[in-house]
Copies of this chain bind each other. A is one copy, B any other.
Amino acid sequence: MTIEVVRIGQRLVRDDRVTTHAALVSRAFGASRIYMNETNSEILQVIDGMNKSWGGSFEVALEDNLKDIIRQKKDSGYMIVHLTMYGYALHDYLKFNTVPEKILIVIGASKVPREIYSMADYNVSVGLQPHSEIAALAVFLDRIQCGEQFKREFPGASKRIIPSRTGKCVSDL
């Protein structure tokens, strides 16, 4: 399964930490790439450091025209899912769809242009109250993979977490 993420509408500085969280969650839950159209150096440094320590080759891709990216992905067979509190309920989405081989997940920071709703194959929500695009992304990725993020390999890691009920346990590789 190939998972990619597009983040639209972020506001520099104000949204910097949230954008970093969006990238971290994408990586941790199995996406290979996040597209955005501007960024701050923090995100690139953080992700680079994560890949070196914890493995994998997750990528932050900067693109001027994110609508073009969505169109290109749609043309090459990706299911486009836009996460929004106004969308189709997650349990209905899961009931009526098999999880696709290739999926592009669109998340918005501020107001999302109307056109994105039309471009998406599905507008999907994880709840009926205002929440957070980070929450939506995490819950959606957890549910479509049935928790498989725990089994995912991150090649090249220099350390690995050993789950522990009472404390921190990290092994060097």
Contacts and interface: CB of A to CB of B under 8 A. Distances in A.
Interface of A: 14-15, 17-18, 21, 24-25, 27-29, 50, 54, 84-92, 114, 117-118, 122-123, 125-132, 134-139, 142-143, 147, 149-150, 154, 160-161, 163-170
A25 B41 CA distance: 27
A91 B134 CA distance: 21
A90 to B, nearest CB: 7
Given A28-B127, A123-B164, A129-B54, A134 B21 contact: yes
- Stoichiometry, copies per complex: 2
Contacts of A50: 129-130
Contacts of A138: 126, 131-132, 134-136, 138-139
A54 B130 CA distance: 8
Contacts of A118: 166-167
Contacts of A86: 161, 163-164, 167-170
A165 B88 contact: yes
Given A85-B161, A88-B164, A166-B117, A150 B135 contact: no
A125 to B, nearest CB: 6
A149 B127 contact: yes
B24 A163 contact: no
Given A17-B14, A18-B17, A139-B142, A87 B163 contact: yes
A171 B5 CA distance: 30
